[in-house]
């Protein structure tokens, strides 16, 4: 469980760093955007805490799940951060267009969205 949360926190950190580098490159550093991003990350951490409490003590209030919800919450958060990291990287280095990164990670998109990213 500790490793799962640690991996998620790593992705949050990488997203923050790549987002900051992107903002520096584009000369768009904004304290309000950074603050909003940090609030979103705090929201994810609160979700981890809630999931841990439900997984460990949910049975005391009637939750009898046959699976742990923490991995589901973490998978969602990591996927969200991964998409953001890929977008940031494509802005930092235009040679790594988002469509090429998506192809590498085998992400499919419809034709309309593909035209917008070229």
CB atoms within 10 A of CB 77: 23
Q: How far apart are CA 18 and CA 82, in angstroms?
A: 11
Is residue 69 exposed (0-12), middle (13-18) or buried (19+ Cβ within 10 Å)? middle
Q: What does the pLDDT read at residue 64?
A: 83
Q: What does the pLDDT read at residue 118?
A: 42
Please report, for residues 30, 57, 65, 110, 117, the alpha-carbon distance to residue 11 in angstroms, rounded to integers and kept in the order given.
Answer: 21, 27, 27, 27, 24
Q: What does the pLDDT read at residue 98?
A: 64
Q: What does the pLDDT read at residue 1?
A: 76
CB atoms within 10 A of CB 100: 12
Q: What does the pLDDT read at residue 22?
A: 96
Q: What does the pLDDT read at residue 102?
A: 63
pTM of the model: 0.78
Give the chain's residues under pLDDT 50.
111-118
């Amino acid at each position: 469980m500790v490793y799962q949360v640690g991996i998620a926190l790593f992705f949050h950190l990488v997203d923050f760093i790549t987002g900051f580098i992107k903002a520096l490159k584009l000369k768009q550093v904004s304290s309000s955007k950074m603050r909003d991003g940090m609030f979103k990350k705090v929201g994810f951490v609160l979700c981890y805490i809630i999931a841990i409490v439900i997984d460990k003590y949910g049975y005391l209030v009637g939750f009898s799940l046959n699976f742990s919800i923490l991995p589901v919450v973490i998978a969602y958060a990591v996927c969200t951060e991964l998409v953001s990291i890929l977008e940031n990287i494509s802005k930092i280095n235009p040679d790594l267009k988002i469509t090429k990164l998506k192809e590498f990670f085998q992400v499919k998109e419809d034709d309309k969205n593909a035209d917008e990213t070229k």
